[in-house]
Structure 1
Amino acid sequence: MKKNVITIAITLAAAASIFAVISYNSAKMDAAGNANHGVAAKAVVQLPEVAVMAVSKGNYQAEVIGYGEAKSRYQLTLTSEVSGQVESIGQNFATGKQFKQGEAVIQINDIDYQQALTSAQVTVADAKLALLEEQRQGQQARLEWKNSGITGEPESPLVLREPQLIAAQATLKNAQSQLTKAQRDLDKTAIAAPFSALVVSRDVQLGSYLQVGNTIGTLYSTDRMEIEIPLSAHQWTSLPDISGAVEGQWPVTLTNTTGDAQWQGYVERVEQHLDNASRQRSLVVVVEQPLAQQTPLFPGTFVTATVEGKALNNLWQLPATAISQNGDVWYIGADGYLATFTAKKQFSQGELSYITPAEGMESANIIIRPLNSYVQGMQVIAKHKNQSDMQLADVTRLDIKTSSVAANHVSVKL
């Protein structure tokens, strides 16, 4: 009986211990669950922060950006107009050197042409003599017809030697034309530069024999350089009145591809046709005395042309990162929720874009770098960026520096 009591007591003690352990673990689990629930609740109410900048409508001076190749005003393949052997070559007739207008390029042996000129001179002298004799004979024939007492005109003009006189006059005229040609051929044996030029290539040597039409060399004029700048239809709408601007030598800044050289030019004319390949119309920009510039502008140089456009009103100036890949602009509405609209971009310059504001909006808090995960109506916390904090040069930052564009110039790109 005593052993049964002890057994029952031990069993009850073990049951009490097990119950205590279970109760303790349950309390710990409940406490941990409550803690996790609190964290989850806190995560639900924690809103994402987004960097925004306040924008408002502004007025800007447009700059139209185009590209082209510098070409000489005249690019001439010089050819021979007479045949003969090259007797001498001008001292400056070598690639890379420059000629002044009228300076001798080559001299062709002219003995045969001198002889032809002398022969033509003799022919002209004989024709003049023959004409004088015929005029004298015609006068004598008229006097004899008058003294004959026959009234009226003779039946044939040969009686008064009128056809003979016409033939003599025509012979003299033909002889004079031959003399002019002989003199011209002789003059063409001395070939000179038709304009101040740069020698691009030379295709003859001393002693070379030239036929009519043979190439002598290639010359590029040096008085001015012309650059055709094709522009899209959208870019043309950003330019001021064309006729007035051209008359006033519309200024253009040209920069080479490496950005270490600049030249000042002006719009000299506007093309009145569309290019067959690009379907664009071009401005023609001129640089005077290109090789005399501090940094010479050589033919064949590819340049970027910055053309001053017209004033643009009521645009928003945004960092380029504010426009998503889909072309949307995200902003925070007055209720604090995300909203979006499709950007109508007008111009861009570097890291800045200029767009037409959404209809009915004067200003807005624009998200600087929107994410693909954004949805309409999403609630966020705005973190405003000041203009003084913005750095356009560092594209890895969210900040955008606008103080560097105080002149409010924008560029129109294709």
Structure 2
Amino acid sequence: MKQAPLQWMVTVAAILVFIAVAWMIVNSMREGARVPVVIESHPVQYPDVSVVRAKAGTHGAVVRAYGAVSPRFSLDLTAEISGLVESLGEDCEPGKRVAKGTLLVSVEDSEYRSAVALAQKELADSRIALLEEEGRSRQAEAEWSSSDLQGAPDSELVLRAPQLAAALAAVASAEAALAKAGRELERTEIRAPFDAIVVERSIAPGSYLQSGSQIAVLYSTDRADIRIHLASEEWAMLPESRVVNSGLWPVQVWHAQSGEAWDGRILRLEQHANSHTRQRALIVAVDAPLDREPPLLAGSFVNMVIPGVELGNLWCLPPSSLSQNGEIWYVTEDQLLRSFDSNIIFSDDKGIYIAAPESLAGEEQQILVRPLSSYVQGMKVNPVEVKGHE
């Protein structure tokens, strides 16, 4: 019974503490309500885009092309006479270089020497017959002049004119036969018709040749030709025909795989269009291809760069500036994205060249370096200029 006042006092104290705590919490909430709430503000962040500054100007056009190297002359060397192959020249081997006039093949010639000797005899006999007939003709003329007959004889046979003509024709025929026999004898020694390399040999000692039999394949070495076909817009970038046909317009040629380079020149323009492609061909020449370092071999596949004329109103841009859809994206003064359709006019080591629209050609523009497919017209961006492109 004595503990009841103590418990009551503890209960009252707890209630007083609770009331005090509650009062402090309410008071704190009221104070907090009177303090203004500070809201932090952040500027709107727009996506960064990499741009280069471009201004339309005049640039020297470049035409890029490709083609296969071929010799100026490719010859299937054939026999003009028949006979047994007696021997081959030392240089009649595939891969060997031969000068014009080099002996390649010797054909057994006894039959042809005999034919020359026989033709010489027949020519000598016909000349003797002609001399005899000339003597008879002079005698016939003298006899007719000493006769009392007036005027010309009734027949040409009297003065032996037909016989003399036949004797003259026999001499001419014998001379032609001797010349033919001499040419056939010369052809028993088959020589290179021009400076060449032996690509293929088709005979061996002991082979029997018929007229027309293939002996070897020869490629000339004085010049290599490369035939290329250009589209109409590429022709428009070349200088006028008389300049190109001068044979002095330079061309840079390099191997498609190794990158080895040679100096060439435009040799000529063909004066007709291909019946299948409707394109006109241009011939590029590399002189003395095998004497270059390294040599330019026939059959190689090469790329070419042909300098063209000066073209105006062009932007020089990084290759990545042209989107997959063939669009060029740029940033306006209001930092908005805009684009237009375009094509590459030409390209070189500096970049690609694009025709600038008239509305943008006058001032320097900010061109996107790597446009993304997610970009949309009018999108606001933050342009960031990049360096390193001229």
Query: 1:242-295: CA deviations, max 9, x gaps?
Result: 312432611111100124311111112111122234332222122221111120
Q: 1:164: Cα distance to partner?
A: 0.8
Tell me, yes or no, if the aligned pair for 1:271 and 1:283 is still in contact at 8 Å: yes
Match of 1:374 in 2: 375
Match of 1:241 in 2: 240
Match of 1:255 in 2: 254
Which amino acid is the alignment partner of residue 182 of structure 1? A
Match of 1:365 in 2: 366
User: Which structure 2 residues correspond to residues 309-324 of structure 1 after superposition, within 5 A?
Assistant: 309-324=308-323
Which amino acid is the alignment partner of residue 378 of structure 1? M
Which amino acid is the alignment partner of residue 116 of structure 1? A
Tell me, yes or no, if the aligned pair for 2:316 and 2:350 is still in contact at 8 Å: no
- SS state of the match for residue 46, structure 1? coil
Q: Distance in 1 between matches of 2:208 and 2:344?
A: 64
Tell me, yes or no, if the aligned pair for 1:86 and 1:207 is still in contact at 8 Å: yes
Q: 1:190: Cα distance to partner?
A: 0.6
Q: 1:119: Cα distance to partner?
A: 0.5
Q: Distance in 2 between matches of 1:372 and 1:299?
A: 45
Q: Distance in 2 between matches of 1:368 and 1:312?
A: 23
Tell me, yes or no, if the aligned pair for 1:320 and 1:351 is still in contact at 8 Å: no
Match of 1:281 in 2: 280
Tell me, yes or no, if the aligned pair for 2:62 and 2:347 is still in contact at 8 Å: no
- SS state of the match for residue 190, structure 2? strand
Match of 2:217 in 1: 218
- SS state of the match for residue 266, structure 2? strand
Match of 1:139 in 2: 138
Q: Distance in 2 between matches of 1:154 and 1:240?
A: 77
User: Which structure 2 residues correspond to residues 17-32 of structure 1 after superposition, within 5 A?
Assistant: none
Q: Distance in 2 between matches of 1:224 and 1:281?
A: 22
Q: Distance in 1 between matches of 2:262 and 2:309?
A: 22
- Paired residues, what number? 355
Match of 2:291 in 1: 292
Q: Distance in 2 between matches of 1:197 and 1:367?
A: 55
Which amino acid is the alignment partner of residue 83 of structure 1? S
Residue 350 to residue 326, structure 1, CA distance change in 2 (3 Å): farther
Match of 1:4 in 2: none
Match of 1:383 in 2: 384
Q: 1:42: Cα distance to partner?
A: 6.6
TM-score scaled to structure 1, two decimals?
Answer: 0.81
Does residue 161 of structure 1 match 2:187?
A: no
For structure 1, which segment, 325-334 or 90-99, has the greater mean C-alpha deviation from structure 2 after superposition? 325-334
Tell me, yes or no, if the aligned pair for 2:247 and 2:268 is still in contact at 8 Å: no
Match of 2:6 in 1: none
- SS state of the match for residue 149, structure 1? coil
- SS state of the match for residue 46, structure 2? coil
Which amino acid is the alignment partner of residue 120 of structure 1? A
Match of 2:121 in 1: 122
Q: 1:57: Cα distance to partner?
A: 1.2
Q: Distance in 2 between matches of 1:158 and 1:68?
A: 72
Q: 1:312: Cα distance to partner?
A: 2.0
Residue 248 to residue 120, structure 1, CA distance change in 2 (3 Å): closer
For structure 1, which segment, 115-124 or 306-315, has the greater mean C-alpha deviation from structure 2 after superposition? 306-315
Over aligned residue pairs, what C-alpha RMSD do you find? 2.3
Match of 2:32 in 1: none
Query: 1:74-93: CA deviations, max 9, x gaps?
Result: 11111111111011110010
- SS state of the match for residue 211, structure 2? coil
Tell me, yes or no, if the aligned pair for 1:229 and 1:305 is still in contact at 8 Å: no
Q: 1:55: Cα distance to partner?
A: 1.0
Q: 1:351: Cα distance to partner?
A: 7.6
User: Which structure 2 residues correspond to residues 191-210 of structure 1 after superposition, within 5 A?
Assistant: 191-210=190-209
Which amino acid is the alignment partner of residue 162 of structure 1? A
Structure 1 gap segments, 5+ residues each: 1-19, 21-26, 28-34, 391-400, 403-414
User: Which structure 2 residues correspond to residues 93-132 of structure 1 after superposition, within 5 A?
Assistant: 93-132=92-131
Which amino acid is the alignment partner of residue 255 of structure 1? W
Does residue 81 of structure 1 match 2:80?
A: yes
Tell me, yes or no, if the aligned pair for 2:70 and 2:299 is still in contact at 8 Å: yes
Q: 1:221: Cα distance to partner?
A: 0.9
TM-score scaled to structure 2, two decimals?
Answer: 0.86
Does residue 271 of structure 1 match 2:270?
A: yes
Larger Rg: 2
Q: Distance in 1 between matches of 2:375 and 2:367?
A: 13
Q: 1:345: Cα distance to partner?
A: 2.8
Q: Distance in 2 between matches of 1:89 and 1:291?
A: 24
- SS state of the match for residue 206, structure 1? coil
Q: 1:350: Cα distance to partner?
A: 5.7
